[in-house]
Each structure stands twice: as structure tokens, then as C-alpha cells.
Homo-oligomer: A and B are copies of this chain.
Amino acid sequence: MRTFNLSDYLLQYLDKTSDTPRNRQLYRLMRQAILDRVLPPDTRLPSSRDLANELQISRNTVLYAYEQLLAEGYVEARAGSGTYVADTVPDTVFMPPTPRGSNAAVSDWAQLSQRGHRLVAHAGASPQQWGAFVPGVPDVTRFPHKIWSSLQSKIWRNPAVATLTYGGGGGYQPLREVVAEYLKGSRSVDCEAGQVVITNGIHQSIDLCLRLLSDPGDVAWVEDPCYWGARNLLTASGITIRPIRVDPEGICPDHADLAVVPRFIFVTPSHQYPLGMVMSLARRRSLLEYAKTHGCWIIEDDYDSEFRYNGRPLASLQGMDSDERVLYMGTFSKTMFPGLRLGYLVLPPSLKQPFVTGMEELHRSGQAPLQATMAEFMIQGHFSSHIRKMRLLYGARLEILQQEIARHFADDVQVVGTDAGLHLALRLPEKCDDQLIAGQAREQGVIVRPLSSYYHVPDSRNAGLVLGYACVNDANIAPAFDVLARIIRRHL
């Protein structure tokens, strides 16, 4: 059982396209699994021969990794009975002495600290950020760049001193104000400008929450499946993740979960990522009540709910919260363009001052010309107008994609998450290896993310593919899906 999970885990993360030799990758993944206690002390490792077979790699590759782990004390050999995870794992990453006076390649990662290693070990960002079917990327070719550029030029014609020197940690005041107005009106967020902190996106917003409100060892509930970025940031900050399953009403903690009071509850109530359901009103009420009773912080990630094609969006969870437990975050990456690097965090009143200070200490503040341009873009109505246009565009693309899916497949794949956003998910039969399908698709130029990779523990019951349809031209959807469908068909 343990053995089976290990090879599953390794298969998920071994990257055949990486420049890093396979044996180093294997060593690092296993070391991380041991440090993260995914592989607890006294776990018996499979024999090098068995693991090599399961991973379909050479036995020497496995032996190298085992020997390295042995040398560094992560595992121990017990006479006549095999290799076991050591009882006392070194609690800082062993740093081999640099050979004196030599520039000989020291392994890149071996020099990192433990938290540094956690930050980069499961890096999730894809090198490809455009084309069929990259999830989460809007059609940046439709961005009204002429309007943007002319607003920007106007701001630069006679820039005030205050916009060029260091700014305040909350961001450019007029942008905070218009963001507050926008969120009140369109998302029923209950806030005023002073509660808004402008960040460079969801990652920075999450990181700020972790830096200010948590200490290593704190527990966070995260939806299972969830956004890889949130999971990685939590792990990097030393937070213990408790994955909570989702049902059609959203996050669904069981009795055992409820007993482990978390510091944070990370949720995507408007549009579960990546499955797409909306959290029910009943579930929202329970969650707020629980957070109030136990003093948890709810982090509401409202990353793409502007694009809704069916039904009316529920108001934000933040708008229902009367106890200052919800921190609400959003991004301009989907509504504008990702390279903009602007997002916003709405804080309970009692947290606004420390967060403004925290931003200032971590990053110093500024970028007023950029933020002023964004404010003008919103004030003049270009933002709402662009969203309306893109909603029609993406809605049409979604329809084409759904037709293609229906044309190729009957009941053997299930489509979920088509009410909103920039992506949908295809659920595949249990026997399908979604990692393998995604790899084969990539070789033919079609980018999809395996659904199982969004889960805490990859499991074949969660096989599927996440497809973004926003950054594919209408005309390219059918041909690209043809390629993908042929590959999927081979695995059904």
C-alpha cells in the first residue's frame, strides 16, 4: 500500500523534460517526502529493483538516490531486512562542504535551506502560458492596449512627486477607492478603501496572510482539489495542510476535520478551483459560524467569478461575514492581463493597519503610475466594458469546446465546471492515467493539466483534465481538441 503510493507520488513529480538528471530528481523528491512526513519514520522502502520497475527507470538511478539518502541519514539499511526511513531525520538539510577553491558544480538544491527547498520542490508554474488549452490565462490579444497606453501617457505627462517616490503600503489611494467601490457593487464585498491593500497578485496576497497571521506548524484547511499555488505557498511557510474533500456544495469537512481547528480555511466559494461548483448558502453559513466560534481566518480566493455564463453569482462570502473572520482576495490577472501583476486583498478592519505596514516592510511600496493607470481605466468604465466583451467571447468559446467534447465522447467523460470562469474539467474513467495523457498531449503541442495533480494525494479515482478555453481562438478549438481527443481515446 505504502509502496504503491510512493511510486504514484514519484511518477507525478518526476519531470522527463527537466535538465536535472533523473537520479537527482528522485533523491530530492524522496528527501522532501521524508521531510514532509509523507514517508514517516520506519516506513520500509521498496527494493531498488521494484521501484525501478514501477517507475520504468534504470535501477542505477534508484540506487544513486538511495545511497545519497543513506549517506545523509534520511534512510537506514537494516541488516537482512531492507531500507527504512530513519527514526530521526536530520531536521536541517544536510549541506555537503563545498570543495575548497573549486567551482565544481554543487547541486543547485543541496545549498537551499529547508524552507527554501519546500518553496521550490513542487513548483507548479508551467513554462507555457499561452495557447490551447492553458488554464487560467485570458485572451490578452483582446486587451484594449491603445486605451491603456493613452491613459498611461496622460499620467506620465506631468507626474506628481508623490507618485515617483516611495508610496504607502496599502497602494495608490485612488485605486484602493475604486477597487472598494467595484467590489461593493459587483461582489457585495463589505469594505471601504482603507481595508484594501493592492498587491502584485494572489500569490503575494496569500504570502502576506501567511507571514502576518501564521507561524510554522499552524494548520490550514484547503479544498481537495485546490490551486497548486496556494498549496505550495502554505507548505513553503511551514504550514501543515489538511486537505478537505469537496462535494457539490463546496468544502465538506467531516467530523475528524472539524476536531482539528485550523488557523486558516482556504476556499474558492464563488467558483471552486478547479472543479467549478459554487459553495451553497448553507455551507457558507456553517463555515462562517465555525470560524467565528474557533477564531479561524477564512481566506476567500475570488479569482475569476467575473466570468459567469449561467445563473447569477452568489455574493462573496466576505459580504456575509459579520465577525471579521474573512480575508477576501482577487486579481486583475484574469480580467485584465496576467503580466500586469496587480491584485487586491480586502482585510477585516482590525487587520488593515498591520497589513499595510507588513507590505511596506516586505516590499517597500510604489508603482503609483501603474496603479494610477489602473484606477483611471476603472473610473472611465473601460474595465466593466472589457469584462462584458470578454464574457461574451469566452462564453462562445466555452460553447464550441462543449460541442466538440460532446461530438467526440458520450458518457465516458463527464464535463464539470461550465457555469463560470476560464476553464472546465473533464473527468475521465478511473483506469486513465491523466499524467500520461497530459504528457502525450504536450508532445503534440496541446497543454492540459492533469486533474489528479490538483489533489493532495494523486489518486487514479480523480483522473481527468483541466482545459482552459479563454486563450484559444475560436477557430483553433476544434483542431486542438481533435488532437487531444485522439490521445484520450487511446486510454479509454
Which of chain A's residues 212-256 have a Cβ closer than 8 Å to chain B? 212-216, 218, 229, 232-233, 236
CB-based contact A153/B149 at 8 Å: yes
Which of chain A's residues 337-367 have a Cβ closer than 8 Å to chain B? 337-341, 350-354, 357-358, 360-367
A195-207 interface code vs B (CB 8 A; 1 in, 0 out): 0000011111001
Q: Which residues on B sit within 8 Å (CB–CB) of A107?
A: 350
A143-162 interface code vs B (CB 8 A; 1 in, 0 out): 10100110011001101011
Q: Which residues on B sit within 8 Å (CB–CB) of A363?
A: 200-201, 203-204, 207, 341
CB-based contact B148/A339 at 8 Å: no
Q: How far is the CA of A113 from the CA of B215 in the complex (A)?
A: 6
Q: Which residues on B sit within 8 Å (CB–CB) of A213?
A: 111-113, 116
Q: Which of A107, A130, A164, A212 has the largest count of B CB atoms less than 10 A from its CB?
A: A164
CB-based contact B350/A364 at 8 Å: no
Which of chain A's residues 104-150 have a Cβ closer than 8 Å to chain B? 105-109, 111-116, 119-120, 123-125, 127, 129-130, 137, 140-141, 143, 145, 148-149
CB contact between A108 and one of B165, B337, B354 (< 8 Å): that residue: B354
A324 within 8 A of B: yes
Which of chain A's residues 19-68 have a Cβ closer than 8 Å to chain B? none
CB-based contact A165/B361 at 8 Å: no
CB contact between A354 and one of B116, B367, B370 (< 8 Å): that residue: B116
CB-based contact A362/B215 at 8 Å: no
CB-based contact B161/A140 at 8 Å: yes
Asked, given contacts A119-B212, A350-B111, whether A364 binds B337 with beta carbons under 8 Å apart, the answer is no
| Chain A interface category by residue count | 35 or more
Stretch at the interface among A8-16, A69-77, A93-101: A93-101
A369-391 interface code vs B (CB 8 A; 1 in, 0 out): 11000000000000000000000
Closest B residue to A367 by CB, please name it.
B341
Asked, given contacts A212-B119, A213-B116, whether A95 binds B295 with beta carbons under 8 Å apart, the answer is yes
CB-based contact A161/B141 at 8 Å: yes
Asked, given contacts A108-B351, A111-B351, A323-B103, whether A204 binds B362 with beta carbons under 8 Å apart, the answer is yes
Q: Which residues on B sit within 8 Å (CB–CB) of A152?
A: 149, 152-153, 156
A7 within 8 A of B: no
CB-based contact B167/A358 at 8 Å: no
CB contact between A125 and one of B109, B116, B159, B360 (< 8 Å): that residue: B360
Asked, given contacts A152-B152, A165-B130, A339-B367, whether A115 binds B361 with beta carbons under 8 Å apart, the answer is no
A189 within 8 A of B: no
Q: Which residues on B sit within 8 Å (CB–CB) of A111?
A: 213, 350-351, 354
Q: How far is the CA of A322 from the CA of B129 in the complex (A)?
A: 37
CB-based contact B156/A361 at 8 Å: no
Q: How far is the CA of A218 from the CA of B130 in the complex (A)?
A: 41
Asked, given contacts A153-B153, A166-B137, A339-B369, whether A103 binds B203 with beta carbons under 8 Å apart, the answer is no
A460 within 8 A of B: no
CB-based contact B164/A350 at 8 Å: no
A456 within 8 A of B: no
A128 → chain B, closest Cβ, in Å? 10
A92 within 8 A of B: yes
List 14 other contacts, CB 8 Å, given A125-B360, A216-B216: A98-B295, A108-B352, A112-B212, A112-B354, A125-B364, A129-B167, A130-B161, A149-B157, A153-B153, A167-B339, A203-B361, A203-B364, A341-B363, A341-B364
Residues on A lying within 8 angstroms of B by beta carbon are 92, 95, 97-98, 100-101, 103, 105-109, 111-116, 119-120, 123-125, 127, 129-130, 137, 140-141, 143, 145, 148-149, 152-153, 156-157, 159, 161-169, 200-204, 207, 211-216, 218, 229, 232-233, 236, 263, 292-293, 295, 322-324, 333, 337-341, 350-354, 357-358, 360-370, 471
